[in-house]
Amino acid sequence: WASYNAGPNRIRRLRSLANERGFDPNRWFGNVEVIAAEKIGRETVDYVRNINKYFVAYKMYFNAQRL
């Protein structure tokens, strides 16, 4: 999701910076998102957070339908 909004090369660089600073480069929330917010601002961070909210909501809805 982040690559769609900010571009794959930029996210690759942010993941590398996250790793250098001791964050997990393979986890967005609480890791790469921290670096992204510092380096490129809130737009991509907010975009990913919103998409994740929709994902969780749909997942909960469809899981409830199975019961």
Structural domains counted in the chain = 1
What would the pLDDT profile of 11-64 be if each residue is shown by its tens digit? 999 999 999 999 999 999 999 999 999 999 999 999 999 999 999 999 999 999
What range defines the domain where residue 35 resides? 2-66
In this predicted structure, what is the pLDDT of residue 27?
98
5 contacts 43 by C-beta, under 8 angstroms: yes
Can you read off the two tokens belonging to residue 47?
Answer: 């975009």
In this predicted structure, what is the pLDDT of residue 23?
99
In this predicted structure, what is the pLDDT of residue 64?
92
47 contacts 33 by C-beta, under 8 angstroms: no
In this predicted structure, what is the pLDDT of residue 3?
81
In this predicted structure, what is the pLDDT of residue 1?
64
